[in-house]
Amino acid sequence: MSATFTKAMARNVFYGGTVFSILLFLALTFHTNWKIPQRTPTETPSLEVARGKLLWETRNCIGCHTLLGEGAYFAPELGNVYQRRGPEFIKIWIKAQPTKVPGRRQMPQFHFTEQQLDDLVAFLKWTSEINTENWPPNIQG
Amino acid sequence: MQLQYKSQAVAKPYFIAAIALFAGQILFGLILGLQYVIGDFLFPAIPFNVARMVHTNLLIVWLLFGFMGAAYYLVPEETETELHSPLLAHVLFWVFLIAGVLTVAGYLAVPYATLAELTGNELLETMGREFLEQPLPTKLGIVVVALAFLYNIGMTLLKGRKTAITLILLMGLIGLAVLFLFAFYNPSNLVKDKYFWWWVVHLWVEGVWELILGAILGFVLLKITGVDREVIEKWLYVIITLTLVTGIIGTGHHYYWIGPPGYWQWWGSVFSALEPIPFFALTIFCFNMVNRRRRQHPNKAATLWALGTGVMAFLGAGVWGFLHTLAPVNYYTHGTQITAAHGHMAFYGAYVMVVLTMISYAMPILRGREVNPERSQVLEMWSFWLMTVSMVFITLFLTAAGILQVWLQRIIPNPQPFMAVQDQLAMFYWMRWLAGVVFFAGLAVYLYSFFAKDKPEAIEAGEAHPSVT
């Protein structure tokens, strides 16, 4: 870099560029958060959905599965599992774990009550109705 | 050789802990890699999700140990004054280490739901989100350690010389601490949850951590090349400007498919497409400084790590990031092994390597010599090549697996179910695991290099040693 471009100039460009980027990002964030209620099924999820989300979190589902493409890549995408499998299959599947098929990837048994299974399904249904710009590309996730 | 400031010595336990936890991380990586092909390996003792938490959380914790150790080492030298409180640094070391070890033990000892109950997750529900799985007490502990650490570094800075390197380091560390606070925000609306979750994850690794990386690398290059400080610091400002201007709006590349408005496909694509530029500047910077060096530093291993960081950060974060960052591409690759490939090389190339660069430069001095003996350096350079080349192969195999996965699951006319596709990727997963074993071997060589001494004949051939009385 030439001697006419000094360290002080570089520093000022840094502060200016960073502050500008932060402000632009905050403006976009503000607009996005204003829009999110229109892009999710309900702005504030029902108690049932909120309980389901807590179950999702405290069983660390994200440690194997993806949800809207985020998480671990060890087990199927669950953002659209409600459409792919339907509520009854989801509940039966969770209750049947682990499959204990030798050599197959195993999911733990969580001993959920019927109420908890319904909460979890409600959360997955709510999630499946988020406007994701048509992602994933097909039902397989 | 003596330390310029004796309080720099507090960095040593931080580096040792970092390396020990690094070894643990890789061990669990090998377990995970095997579970990809032998699904029930260690089940139910260590389910995949538990091993993965240990793998990723250990990575974060040991990098933080590395950053803190680096700060404690370089800040006294840069500010030309002793650390404000070496005692505080020692106390924080034990607090952080015990918190980290207890957390990992908790993951392994009890089911995650039980851990959540035991640690008061119902008081503030923050657990169970990727990378932020830590129980509430651990998260609070991280905040306390970060604040006290910043206080210690900040006070040192106030009383000493203020250089651009320390200023950039401090901005990075403050950003790290402030952004972590979003780990405590977990609204029941999943889209908002995910939106701000990225403020920790993305704005850490593609934002403020790069400031820390730049400062550490700048410091080591300054020391080993003897290039004028003005030149190095000017480069640093240019690099971090490019980093933040591309990286902050570049957060948008995570907002394509998780609920935020569609315009993020434009903001995210355009800005994150520019994210390789700061990494390329970093590569040029490293080579340029080493080429213009005014002295031949005897620590060849540290020079190699510094150059390696420049190259591998660009490849892993820059090139492999660009590969799938454009929205039309990401539509198909989002949440596949392509992401895993990028994640592995980016973390290794940028953050693992910069911490190892610092350790390579500072650890010999902390142990009372300017550089390690020749044989030790040769072994360390062997470990560099073993780990780096095997990481390139891990990335290539995961990329191949990812391309095949995208093809079979998302592109062909009759897309196949997830598990049916996974079965067909087994060969690539096996090869990835073998590359992982080589990485582990490289790590073993690395660990051994700390204890390697020159062979007796080599010593005799060298300068005469005073005989033991």
| Tens of pLDDT, residue by residue, chain B (469 residues) | 689 999 999 999 999 999 999 999 999 999 999 999 999 999 999 999 999 999 999 999 999 999 999 999 999 999 999 999 999 999 999 999 999 999 999 999 999 999 999 999 999 999 999 999 999 999 999 999 999 999 999 999 999 999 999 999 999 999 999 999 999 999 999 999 999 999 999 999 999 999 999 999 999 999 999 999 999 999 999 999 999 999 999 999 999 999 999 999 999 999 999 999 999 999 999 999 999 999 999 999 999 999 999 999 999 999 999 999 999 999 999 999 999 999 999 999 999 999 999 999 999 999 999 999 999 999 999 999 999 999 999 999 999 999 999 999 999 999 999 999 999 999 999 999 999 999 999 999 999 999 998 877 655 444 444 444 3
Which chain B residue has the Cα nearest residue A4?
B234
Q: Does A128 touch chain B (CB under 8 A)?
A: no
- Residues 6 or more apart from B273 whose CB is under 8 A from it? B322, B325, B326
Q: H or E element: which one contains B61? A: helix B48-79
At B176 the pLDDT is: 97
Q: H or E element: which one contains B167? A: helix B164-180
Note the residue count of chain A: 141
Cα–Cα distance for residue pair A87/A124, rounded to 1 Å = 9
Cα–Cα distance for residue pair B217/B227, rounded to 1 Å = 13
> Minimal CA–CA distance to B328: which of B397, B277, B268?
B268
Q: Does A14 touch chain B (CB under 8 A)?
A: yes
Q: Does B39 touch chain A (CB under 8 A)?
A: yes
Contact between residue B241 and residue A10 where contact means Cβ atoms under 8 Å apart: yes
Tokens 């460009």 map to which residue? A13
B267 with A28: Cβ contact below 8 A = yes
Helices H / strands E in chain B, number of each:
20, 0
Q: Does B33 touch chain A (CB under 8 A)?
A: no
* Angle at the Cα of B210 from the Cα atoms of B158 and B203, rounded to 5 degrees: 100
Between chain A and chain B, the number of residue pairs with CB atoms below 8 A apart is: 226
B49 with A63: Cβ contact below 8 A = yes
- State the smallest CA–CA distance between residue B259 and chain A in angstroms: 5
- The 10s digit of each residue's pLDDT in A82-123 is 999 999 999 999 999 999 999 999 999 999 999 999 999 999
B128 with A103: Cβ contact below 8 A = no
At B456 the pLDDT is: 73
A67 forms beta bridges with A70
At B454 the pLDDT is: 83
At B464 the pLDDT is: 45
Q: A93 vs A108, A109, A141, CA distance in Å? A: 11, 10, 18
- Residues 6 or more apart from B389 whose CB is under 8 A from it? B438
What residues in B contact A44, CB-CB < 8 Å? 188-189
- Residues 6 or more apart from B149 whose CB is under 8 A from it? B68, B71, B89, B92, B173
- State the smallest CA–CA distance between residue B369 and chain A in angstroms: 34
Under the phi-then-psi rule, with left for phi > 0, alpha for psi from -120 to 50, and beta for the rest, what region is B240? alpha
Contact between residue B449 and residue B379 where contact means Cβ atoms under 8 Å apart: yes
Cα–Cα distance for residue pair B408/B423, rounded to 1 Å = 11
Q: Does A27 touch chain B (CB under 8 A)?
A: no
DSSP codes of every residue in A26-59: HHHHHHHHHHHHHHSS-SS--HHHHHHHHHHHHT
Classify B432 as helix, strand or coil: helix
Nearest CB among B128, B265, B416 relative to A60 is that of B128
Cα–Cα distance for residue pair B224/B243, rounded to 1 Å = 24
Which chain B residue has the Cα nearest residue A12?
B237
At A43 the pLDDT is: 86
At A140 the pLDDT is: 97
At B465 the pLDDT is: 47
- State the smallest CA–CA distance between residue B469 and chain A in angstroms: 55
Give which of B42, B132, B258 to mutate to test A binding, by max A Cβ within 10 Å.
Answer: B258
B340 with A73: Cβ contact below 8 A = yes
Which chain B residue has the Cα nearest residue A44?
B189
B128 with A61: Cβ contact below 8 A = yes
What residues in A contact B331, CB-CB < 8 Å? 135, 137
Token duo for residue A44: 């504030």
ipTM of the complex: 0.97
What pTM does this model have?
0.96
Which chain B residue has the Cα nearest residue A129?
B259
Q: Give the up-direction half-sphere exposure of residue B453: CA atoms within 13 A in the CB hemisphere.
A: 5
Instruction: Tell me which residues of chain A, numbers 36 to 55, contact chain B at a CB-CB cutoff of 8 Å.
Output: 36, 39-40, 43-45, 49-50, 53-54
- The 10s digit of each residue's pLDDT in A67-76 is 999 999 999 9
User: What integer is the mean pLDDT of A6-30?
Assistant: 97
Q: What's the mean pLDDT when you consider all of chain A? A: 96
Contact between residue B120 and residue B136 where contact means Cβ atoms under 8 Å apart: yes
Burial of A3 per CB tally in 10 Å (0-12, 13-18, 19+): exposed
At B453 the pLDDT is: 87
- State the smallest CA–CA distance between residue A56 and chain B in angstroms: 8
